[in-house]
Structure 1
Amino acid sequence: MSSLRVALIASARHPITEPFAGGLEAHTWGLAHALITRGHEVELFAAPGSDPALRARELPVRTVALSPAACSDASMPSATWMREHHAYLSLMLDLARDGADRFDIVHNNSLHYLPIAMASALRVPVITTLHTPPTPWLESAIQTHDRCPVVFTAVSRYTASAWHPVVPAARVVRNGIDTGVWQAGPGGSDLAWSGRLVPEKGPHLAIRAARAAGVPLHLAGPISDAQFFEEQVAPLLGDGVDYVGHLDRHELAHLLGTSAAALVTPGWAEPYGLVVAEALACGTPVCGFDRGALAEILTPDCGRLAPPGDVDALAALIPQVMQLDRHAARRRAERFCSLERTADAYTALYDEVAR
């Protein structure tokens, strides 16, 4: 397969660098790194502060010089919304002007609507990965075309099914993790939870389940909702439950690899669940809520799922999961969740679409 020139569009809100703000940023970093390693020419359009090793180019995140009259208008959105809108608008206009001379493929890995809405202005194929459940902005962008020119992928069968009414032909390409970084550990006696500390990830529910099971728990991740953390998480810390901070990949791999099991407690329909793949790669079985795509990743020999939101049922499963075979968890990650599989799928799709 010949080398391809890829424009990879990422988030304008969070830099693509460690420690990652969330699973989307971690996935984007991994994909960019894998493509570069394979000899492809990648330009990553991302937020300021992104990893320079990925040849990242800052999205033109400029403060818009709006007049006092515009700022006082009833329709004025937040400053963050305006900055993101302006960044993606500027980028898509740049790509419409000379993108075909610079790239073979534009891969939109952001959650913004403009790369979809403006895809028809480009003379280069556009691929968009669907990372979330349907949103009104993206559905609107898709329907601005009689026939949307974008090729869509989805990160799980569950996510593809959720988008089916407006994107009936999304191809499933699951997110992957670097199993060379996320290596199997010896296990331990405690539990681990990782992710963004926000209500939809349910860290407070993980604490309640761990306490009910009588097993110590270590939580790791960025405090993305400070009010939620202070009101719902911090009061539950102590007495066998601690918050160990926002860790980089190597630190998190050590935490997971030295834990008996990982708790995954989404309060929403998880589109994929990168934290599940990371735990399995570390040889750590998973105990979680059966929401979204988690059941696509886990098999009975590496995890158990409780009904959504049922803390007591989750607590009852914890002792079972702690006894599962760590080698089986690692094998599942290698065969189903590897970054190599993800990169294989995307490079094959790039080659197909760019022909």
Structure 2
Amino acid sequence: MSGALRIALIASARFPVREPFAGGLEAQTWTLAKALTARGHRVELFAAPGSDPDLGVRELRVGRPVLSEAARADVSMPDAVWMAEHHAYLELMLHLAWEGERRFDVVHNNSLHYLPLAMAPAVHLPQVTTLHTPPTPWMESALQTQVHCPVRFTAVSAHTARAWHASVPSPRVVRNGVDTGHWAEGPGGPYLVWSGRLVPEKGPHLAARAAREAGLPLRLAGPLGDRQYFGRYVRPLLGDGIEYVGHLRRRALARLVGGAAAALVTPCWDEPYGLVVAEALSCGTPVCGFDRGALGEILTPECGRLAPADDVAALAALLPETVRLDRREARRRAERFCSLEATAGQYTDLYEELTR
């Protein structure tokens, strides 16, 4: 490493970057900031109010702009959340345009918002944008405004890189890593585990149905991202071995995952990466999931099984062989393929390449 870098790390403004994490993006941002700091870099995190103060946070001013009555009454007025995020990123990018060269060596946009990309030419610094999702119209529009885009792109999986090919021909694949020290190898146990945001696209109701069909107990953990969905589709499936244990902090969640016989991963969309897969493998817990998105990149026959998308019966049928897989193979896969140290190292290499 050539030396310590001053890194402006831009997070999502939707949720604070703190435990218990609202989702995988917040968890990944937190662990990346910690890992880069541990390597000696000076990281300043621009994140939502209420984020972990130990990260060196400079809060994004996520508040409603003071708009006139006439502006609020305009028919084009978007909803308050959209306007607040837009205003926060607009202020941030103008701040980086004015002061960025004096204070930072590189900007890493780890958010999902279009403005850090659209306003990148105004910030005269090397810049990296990580692609965490499939293409969105806002991001593609921002890209099309720039003849010579000053940003280098990374994608969290080969699947995501392929999805962006039309707009970003060759993003560098840097997979999200997990702290294998924190997600320690666990002993396993008699139950299955499902973790993540309880929202329709993550399919926890399908995990509950598969567990019941296989005759195995299941513990669901995570924030209630959609209470209406939870009440209609998940709550009626609880009981008789299917249990919702709440939104857990990392330490408690790692114990839960490490104590499971297998982890169920049931995306109802093409998952761009699947951080919960990497976390489970790091705990030595084999994974049984739907073959969607990037899951097939992470799992091998030694550490997991994949069923056709949305096929609950096939998923249930694979569970008996999944729970018999060697936990040591799962752990080895995490150490070799999705460690946080490897992720931080690849980003450091990219920052240094750009600052040279």
Secondary structure of the residue aligned to 1:158 is helix
Task: Please say which of residues 61-70 and 30-39 is displaced more in the overlay.
Answer: 61-70
In 2, distance between residues paired with 1:95 and 1:169? 26
| Residue of structure 2 in register with 1:269 after alignment | 270
State the one-letter code of the partner of 2:253.
L
Secondary structure of the residue aligned to 2:193 is strand
Secondary structure of the residue aligned to 1:193 is strand
In 1, distance between residues paired with 2:260 and 2:288? 12
In 2, distance between residues paired with 1:142 and 1:100? 23
Residue 160 of structure 1 and its aligned partner are, at CA, apart by: 0.2
| Residue of structure 2 in register with 1:31 after alignment | 32
In 1, distance between residues paired with 2:146 and 2:61? 26
| Residue of structure 1 in register with 2:75 after alignment | 74
Deviation per CA, 1:256-290, whole angstroms, max 9, x where unpaired?
A: 11110000000000000000000000000000000
Residue 248 of structure 1 and its aligned partner are, at CA, apart by: 1.0
| Residue of structure 2 in register with 1:248 after alignment | 249
In 2, distance between residues paired with 1:133 and 1:195? 19
In 1, distance between residues paired with 2:71 and 2:217? 54
- Within 5 Å, give how 1:101-250 maps onto structure 2: 101-250=102-251
Secondary structure of the residue aligned to 1:279 is helix
In 2, distance between residues paired with 1:114 and 1:65? 20
In 2, distance between residues paired with 1:268 and 1:147? 32
- Within 5 Å, give how 1:331-342 maps onto structure 2: 331-342=332-343
In 2, distance between residues paired with 1:328 and 1:248? 26
In 2, distance between residues paired with 1:153 and 1:74? 38
Deviation per CA, 1:174-214, whole angstroms, max 9, x where unpaired?
A: 00000000000100011000000000000000001001000
Deviation per CA, 1:133-166, whole angstroms, max 9, x where unpaired?
A: 1100011111110121110000000000000000
| Residue of structure 1 in register with 2:312 after alignment | 311
State the one-letter code of the partner of 1:52.
P
| Residue of structure 1 in register with 2:299 after alignment | 298
In 2, distance between residues paired with 1:309 and 1:147? 41
State the one-letter code of the partner of 1:326.
R
In 2, distance between residues paired with 1:270 and 1:25? 16
In 1, distance between residues paired with 2:342 and 2:67? 46
Residue 62 of structure 1 and its aligned partner are, at CA, apart by: 2.7
In 2, distance between residues paired with 1:226 and 1:141? 33
Provide the identity percentage. 71
| Residue of structure 1 in register with 2:43 after alignment | 42
In 2, distance between residues paired with 1:122 and 1:269? 33
Q: Which ranges of 4 or more aligned residues in structure 1 deviate by more than 6 Å? A: none
Task: Please list every run of 5 or more consecutive structure 1 residues that lacks an aligned counterpart in the other structure.
Answer: none
Task: Please list every run of 5 or more consecutive structure 2 residues that lacks an aligned counterpart in the other structure.
Answer: none
- TM normalised by structure 2 equals 0.99
Secondary structure of the residue aligned to 2:16 is coil
Secondary structure of the residue aligned to 2:257 is helix
| Residue of structure 1 in register with 2:58 after alignment | 57
| Residue of structure 1 in register with 2:353 after alignment | 352
- TM normalised by structure 1 equals 0.99
In 2, distance between residues paired with 1:191 and 1:305? 16
State the one-letter code of the partner of 1:288.
G
RMSD over equivalenced CA pairs, Å = 0.6
